[in-house]
Amino acid sequence: MYNESPAGGGGWYHLLDTVPPGATATAVALLTFHVAGESPPHLEDALNFLRVRQIKDEDPKVDGGWWTNTSKDKPVVEATAWVVRCLAALRCDDQPTTPDLSRAVSWLRNNQDRSGGWGSFHGCPPRVWLTCLALRALLEAAPQDPAVDKGVSWLIEQQLPSGGWAPEPRQNQARVAHTASALTTLVKAGVDPASEKVAKGFDWLLANLDTSSLVEIGNREERSNVLFLRTDKGEEYWLPPSLTHYALPVATTALMHHPRFQSIDVAGKLAQSFDTIVTEQCQDGSWPNSMSTHITLWGVWPCVEALASLRSVRLARAGDQIVWMEGAIVIRQKDGKHLPIEKVLRPLLPRRRWAGSLRWLRRHWAWVSLALFVAGGAVGLATRLIQLTEFAFGLILPIVLLVLQRFIDRKRQ
């Protein structure tokens, strides 16, 4: 799906079967290969393309950013945040042949709203999704930057009483994709997942996530009008490219940080989510585009990120370890060495006739002996073959055996 650019280098467009390449999609594509553990193809050419597209300007609110194919050469968070995150994750240093990461970080800082959030650029109303994009980029490239703390505070303030997040501060309907993105961002920023606000957000996400669909009904696309510039002739607005949200994989990645990650309800939800992600994958490796027939990068990236987050899990339970092998997954249990081999293999072996009855008899043999003696004694008394004193004296042996069995059982426990 890689395409060369007439300006030099090459890359990808968010509609993967479409040309020419764009800065945002090129960065996301490189990041996709990176999180999957693969060396990005065409890396040198892609970095050269991003270097050429980076804006140089005397205005600090313009210099260092990237523009989308539709933003009329104006740098925006929608592109710049993804490129910064990609460059930082791939450890691309500031070389003459690579984009200038430090200038890009400065662009994000200079375009932060006074409230702490981010819109498309300085002067635009902040939005939750764009603030998460900018924070994730800064956390990769400059985690100690003062803009991070301001952004985290703004993001926490936007949490609704229900526990979720809406796309914009003035809205009051929480969305799965935005809640998941906010939670992942806060955890990456060092906020304790078990803290009251964040834990409440995770509980909302768990309760509202539909694991049967890749997208969230009513929140597949996020659109907004942005005031582009104000002139003597009036105001000019820019319609940013719609943000396509694949809520299920974004939420799945978030739930991997749930404070009750190992509990049955969270693990069960995750299992259903991963099952849907895997079964929905197309034969060519992509995921269905819910908006058109084009193959979209916005369907591939979040699914790869979710699967990569599962692959990075080391502990299944406290003390357990997952060993990833070629074609197999081995779970080493913490107490596995104390389990007899027959107990481990019993569920895998064919059931034998009377096996259950024999196990019951071995476990309760003393009670069986006492019951048989009592039944036999009752018959003997009824037929006057034995005396009552003889019967009472004979009870001593089965009672001793019963006490002995109880003692042995306790020792085993």
pLDDT in tens, 178-209: 999 999 999 999 999 999 999 999 999 999 99
Q: What is the pLDDT of residue 72?
A: 74
Distance, CA of 233 to CA of 130 (rounded, Å): 30
Q: How many CB atoms lie within 10 A of CB 7?
A: 12
Q: How far is CA 295 from CA 15, 24, 32, in A?
A: 6, 16, 15
- Of 156, 21, 34, 160, which is closest to residue 87 (Cα–Cα)? 34
- Of 316, 221, 313, which is closest to residue 264 (Cα–Cα)? 316
Q: Per DSSP, what are the bridge partners of residue 323?
A: 330
Tokens 């994009």, residue located = 133
CB 113 within 8 A of CB 119: yes
Tokens 């939750």, residue located = 128
pLDDT at 307 over 80: yes
Q: Where are the beta strands (DSSP E) in 119-278?
A: 221-222, 226-231, 234-238, 243-244
Tokens 């050469």, residue located = 73
Q: What is the pLDDT of residue 220?
A: 80
Give the mean model confidence (pLDDT) for residues 51-72: 90
Give the mean model confidence (pLDDT) for residues 218-222: 81
Give the CA count within 13 Å in the CB-facing half-sphere of 144. Answer: 0
Give the mean model confidence (pLDDT) for residues 106-114: 97
Q: Which letter does DSSP use for residue 18 in this model?
A: S
CB 227 within 8 A of CB 124: yes
pLDDT at 247 over 60: yes
Give the CA count within 13 Å in the CB-facing half-sphere of 371. Answer: 6
CB 240 within 8 A of CB 221: no
CB 248 within 8 A of CB 219: no
Report the range of poorest mean pLDDT among 11-15, 92-96, 248-252: 92-96
Q: What is the pLDDT of residue 7?
A: 79
pLDDT band at 151 (very low <50, low <70, confident <90, very high): very high
Q: How many CB atoms lie within 10 A of CB 118?
A: 30
Greatest extent of the chain over all pairs of C-alpha atoms, in Å:
122
Per the model's pLDDT, the better-predicted residue between 63 and 410 turns out to be 63
Per the model's pLDDT, the better-predicted residue between 230 and 401 turns out to be 401
Give the mean model confidence (pLDDT) for residues 221-225: 73
pLDDT at 336 over 70: no
pLDDT band at 242 (very low <50, low <70, confident <90, very high): confident
Give the CA count within 13 Å in the CB-facing half-sphere of 410. Answer: 6
